[in-house]
Amino acid sequence: MTTTPAAPSTKRGPYAKSKQRRESIVTAAHEVFAARGYRGGSLQDVADKVGMSQTSLLHYFPSKSDLLLAVLNWRDTVTGGGHPRDPEESLVDAVVRQARFNETVPGVIELYAVLCAESITDNHPGLDFFTERYERLRRSYFRAFSALADEGRLRPGVDPGQAAASLIALWDGIQTQWLMAPGDVDMAGCLRAYLELVVLPE
């Protein structure tokens, strides 16, 4: 006697539903924090966006700071869509590509600009996140500029560490200007122009 194997169940279990709910909360929190900042955006604002009570929201994220960190990590996951850098891709092209990609993802630049600036205020839960992020970025770009120096492609007198910190500062600053006047500021173009000042052509 043979039996026909049962078709796999298509029902979503409790874990899947919980994961979906967490994602919807993080997406809503991203919108709230990008528009109002961490201080100005409340858990109630987030709960209202997803149509649930604040008490129910706290079941998924026990505190507002837990939710903030989830949003920041989600933001990095989303912008990771512009990565990774291909080994054959130049530093200049990789930076420009990432900048252009970020422009296409609604809210991620706003979120970064607002929360990064706000993180230096007293007792902000995002301070460690942004401090570690800057340290990681400086190390990464320092390695990239140092490799260019070893290849003889960094202009004379350019210090890899200073170039790395300057690139990050320019990127953050040009993002703010782009947010204020997106039609007037070419963010990726400004980044390319800076890099072409310090990096010699192949």
Nearest-5° Cα angle at 115, 113 to 121: 120
Q: What is the pLDDT of residues 157-188, one digit of tens each?
A: 999 999 999 999 999 999 999 999 988 999 99
Percent with pLDDT over 90 in the chain:
79
pTM of the entire predicted model: 0.83
What fold characterizes domain 14-75? Answer: Arc Repressor Mutant, subunit A (1.10.10)
Q: What is the pLDDT of residues 111-150, one digit of tens each?
A: 999 999 999 999 999 999 999 999 999 999 999 999 999 9
The single residue listed with the structure tokens 């979503």 is 12
pLDDT of 88 reads 77
CATH code of 83-198, in short, is 1.10.357
* Domain layout of the chain by residue ranges: 14-75, 83-198
Q: What is the pLDDT of residues 65-83, one digit of tens each?
A: 999 999 999 988 888 754 5
Residue 120: half-sphere exposure toward Cβ, Cα within 13 Å: 4
pLDDT of 78 reads 82
Spell out the alpha helix ranges (H) of the chain: 14-40, 43-50, 54-60, 64-79, 91-103, 108-118, 127-150, 160-180, 187-198
Sequence-separated (6 or more) residues with CB below 8 Å from residue 149? 158, 160
